[in-house]
Amino acid sequence: MTKKTVTTLLTATLALSVLAPSAFADSAVYSSNAKVTFEATTDPTAPIDPDNPDNPAPSKPENPDGTDPNPGTAGPLSIDFASSLDFGTQKIASTDQTYTAAAQKFADGHTGSNYVQVTDNRGTDAGWNLSVKQLGQFNDGKNDLTGATMTFNNANLVASSSTTAGTPGKLSPKFTLTPGVSKSIVDAAANQGQGTWVDRFGDDKSADSSISLAVPGATTKRAAAYTSTLEWTLAERPAGSVD
């Protein structure tokens, strides 16, 4: 009886020693470090799908004639893409007419919203401003399309669902261009607009009716192609600037 009791007590003592070593030894604490460094990049950003910004493999946008668009500007604050516009082939008329731009074409054959895409990878949270200027009136090489005006409607901002940055606070939902005059259309204050943003005109249901060209009936029109150039400018705000 005595032997059995001693054996049981010894077993219990050994188990306690294994399960709770901290009761019998001092602790040692040591600190090490972890680090990651980010830097601004000048790498270009590919255009995303304006009507499905979460598409992991978006089709490449094309010019109205099927050619490749101009490449985007270098980062870290960049204009990645802006649609070229086609108002079609129209019959000469002596009354006021309004024509709408065709939807944006993509390499896989689908169409979508006309848009401009910008990216801010500076890592400064300083904000930015996007403006557009029609450099001159529509011209056929010799003559202006006098009085013609372009109007952009249904402008709205989109970004991928993973974007956590603040949405740019100022947007012109509708604007009409005056040749030679710059128009501010999106403004991101400090702590807004980081990452990639799309200013699209319309959506997948109104892509082909959101940009219009109004031509006065009294304007002389020749049987020729008239063209104009849009200049998009993305300007940075100085660090610490105040709205």
Q: For 31-56, how does the pLDDT look when each residue is reduced to its tens digit (9 = 90+)?
A: 999 999 888 888 889 999 999 999 99
Buried b (16+ CB within 10 A) or exposed e, 4-32: eeeeeeeeeeeeeeeeeeeeeeeeeeeee
Q: How far apart are CA 123 and CA 157, in angstroms?
A: 21
1-15, 81-95, 102-116, 187-201, range with the lowest pLDDT: 1-15
- Global pTM? 0.84
Confidence of residue 19 (pLDDT cuts 50, 70, 90): low
Q: For 150-204, how does the pLDDT look when each residue is reduced to its tens digit (9 = 90+)?
A: 999 999 999 999 888 899 999 999 999 999 999 999 999 999 999 999 999 999 9
Determine the residue type at 95.
Answer: T
Q: Which H, E and C letters describe 92-138, residue by residue?
A: CCCCCEEEECCCEEECCCCEECEEEEEEECCCCCCCEEEEEEECCCC
Q: How far apart are CA 171 and CA 183, in angstroms?
A: 11
Residue 107: half-sphere exposure toward Cβ, Cα within 13 Å: 11
Strands 170-171, 111-112: pairing is: unpaired
Check pLDDT > 60 for residue 242. no
CB 145 within 8 A of CB 192: no
Q: How far apart are CA 89 and CA 87, in angstroms?
A: 7
Q: How far apart are CA 82 and CA 219, in angstroms?
A: 29
Check pLDDT > 90 for residue 231. yes
Give the pLDDT mean for 238-242: 46
Q: Which H, E and C letters describe 43-72, residue by residue?
A: CCCCCCCCCCCCCCCCCCEECCCCCCCCCC
Q: For 105-134, how does the pLDDT look when each residue is reduced to its tens digit (9 = 90+)?
A: 999 999 999 999 999 999 998 999 999 999
State the pLDDT at residue 15.
46
State the pLDDT at residue 21.
54
Burial of 181: CB neighbours in 10 Å, binned 0-12, 13-18, 19+: exposed
Confidence of residue 239 (pLDDT cuts 50, 70, 90): very low
State the pLDDT at residue 40.
83
Check pLDDT > 50 for residue 1. no
Give the pLDDT mean for 56-63: 96
Q: What is the mean pLDDT of the chain?
A: 89
Confidence of residue 238 (pLDDT cuts 50, 70, 90): low
The owner of tokens 């009716």 is 209
